[in-house]
Structure 1
Amino acid sequence: MSRSFSDNSLVLILSNAMDLKEENVALTSVLSRNNYNVVIITSNLPASILTKEYESKGIEMKNVYFIDLITRYALGSNPGNSDSVQYVSTPENLTEIGIAITKLLNNIENDRIVFLFDSVTSMLIYTSSDKITRFLHFIVNKIRLKNSKGIFMATGGGINPALLMQLRTFVDAVIEDKEEIDDFFSS
């Protein structure tokens, strides 16, 4: 198996919880610099907070999109979708997440699209492992059929072994070493 992002469509990154946000920012920076349209499915932090974080790190936001699973659930109201942000009612509404992914896939002009799931682990707070496994299998196939790419981030010790085993079978590469990330995504 080749060890570069250009040769792999789907990647699982296993991280420790303390590094998850930092790795999200670093990945988004590298991907946007390499002219990818980055669609972040965020179940960890609201899009507004991630946007501020990215901008403070100098990330160009014109090719960054969000499917925000947190804001509507936390606020109890819809702040209103935009071209760059789709709000989902609750993190457990997998059908609505799938529809938002399909909508963005169809609306983004450039074919260089990467879907970044910022925390499979935090999705487990809202939905059972079995449902997430089925949902991710559906999404993985949608990503492959559309010739896009996907990155799934999870905390190594915070995910049940059955789901982890399934995730490993869905992806082309697994990165467990923080130092590998820059080399893998820069090449």
Structure 2
Amino acid sequence: MEEPTSEALDSAIPVDQLAAGKAVLVRGPAMSGKYDLLLRLLGSLADCSILVSTSRQNRGARSDFAAYGDPDCFGVVDCASRVQGQDDGGGELVRYASSPKNLTEVGVKFTDLVDRFQDDGVEHVAVGLHSLSELLMYSDTEQVYQFLRVLLAEARGMDWPTVAVIDDDAAGEAAVTTLTQPFDAVIATRRDDDGRSFQYRAADGEPGEWVGF
């Protein structure tokens, strides 16, 4: 997995601002580095993280995150294992949802994991959601939008930053436009002959320069 450099992130993304309870959407086509940026941001925004993982199982997600942050302070709402007939327990920082179809259940598992971190005295946690386009395979845009609003409100209420990912091609422009609305910033990604790059834009600002990674 190719890792975005710290210099690229620090120069183009206001990590300190986002860490104060802001929400950012990472959008772009397949294979353009969205998942890498998500993990890197989670590791940069807080010492501990929670990932709502719609397609990556707990073990894989935790292994992926180890390159970016502390896997021992990394919680996972695993929406993939039980769909595949698997559930390995995974420890105290894992909660299993039956599938990405049941947004209410996913939300309950997320809140349960939030409570676990708070019971442990962890005050600041970065929240990740990978991915909104996966949720759109099972629910319509309005249902995903309402789920997203509730999750973001819960995170913002604790001043926890949130990073979500959406695949432009899979979701379609209309869905992406709607689901962008609750976010404070957007990071667009692309891949061309020169490699991968990203562009940061605050909701009330102009797009920045494209930065390679």
Name which of 135, 152, 155 aligns with 1:143: 155
Q: CA deviation at 1:26?
A: 4.8
Q: How does 1:22-37 map to 2 (within 5 A)?
A: 23-29=34-40, 31-32=42-43, 35-37=46-48
Other-structure match for 1:70: 80
Please state whether the residue corresponding to 1:79 is helix, strand or coil. Answer: coil
CA separation of 1:151/1:164 partners in 2, compared to 1, >3 Å: closer, same or farther? same
Give 1:59 deviation, angstroms: 4.5
Looking at secondary structure, tell me which structure has more helix per residue: 1
Contact 2:58–2:76 (CA under 8 A) maintained in structure 1: yes
- Shift of the 39–58 alpha-carbon distance from structure 1 to 2, 3 Å rule, reads closer
**In the alignment, is the contact (CA less than 8 A) between 1:25 and 1:54 conserved in 2?**
no
Shift in CA distance, 113/142, structure 1 to aligned 2, threshold 3 Å: same
* 1:5-20 equivalences in 2 (<5 Å): 5-8=15-18, 9-20=22-33
| 2:94 aligned partner | 85
Alpha carbons of structure 1 residues 58 and 131: separation in structure 2 relative to 1, 3 Å: closer
Task: Mark the runs of 5 or more structure 2 residues left unpaired by the alignment.
Answer: 1-11, 190-196, 201-213
Shift of the 114–90 alpha-carbon distance from structure 1 to 2, 3 Å rule, reads same
Q: What is the SS of the residue equivalent to 2:104?
A: helix
**TM-score scaled by length of structure 2:** 0.72
Q: CA RMSD in A?
A: 2.5
In the alignment, structure 1 segments of 5+ residues that lack a partner are: 182-187
Question: What is the CA–CA distance in structure 1 between the aligned matches of 2:163 and 2:42, rounded to whole Å?
Answer: 11
Cα distance in 2 for residues equivalent to 1:39 and 1:134: 20
- Name the counterpart of 1:112: 124
* Structure 2 Cα separation of the partners of residues 127 and 58 of structure 1: 31
> Does the 8 Å CA contact 2:45/2:126 hold for their aligned counterparts?
no
Which of residues 154, 160, 165 is equivalent to 1:153?
165
2:15–2:45: 8 Å Cα contact kept in structure 1? no
1:81-136 residue CA offsets vs partner (Å, 9 max, x unmatched): 63121110111111111111111222213222111111111111222222111111
Q: Distance in 1 between matches of 2:145 and 2:110?
A: 17
Specify whether residues 162 and 30 from structure 1 end up closer, same or farther in structure 2 by C-alpha distance, changes over 3 A only.
closer
CA distance in 1, matches of 2:175, 2:36: 25
What do the CA deviations read for 1:52-74 (whole angstroms, capped 9, x no partner)? Answer: 3344x475311211100010111
Map of 1:60 onto structure 2: 70
**If each structure's strand is expressed as a fraction of its own residues, which one has the higher value?**
2
- The 3 A distance-change label for structure 1 pair 12 and 101 is same
Instruction: Say which one has the larger Rg.
Output: 2
Rounded to whole Å, the distance in 2 between the matches of 1:156 and 1:174 is 13
CA distance in 2, matches of 1:106, 1:145: 13
Aligned to 2:208: none
Amino acid at match of 1:150: T
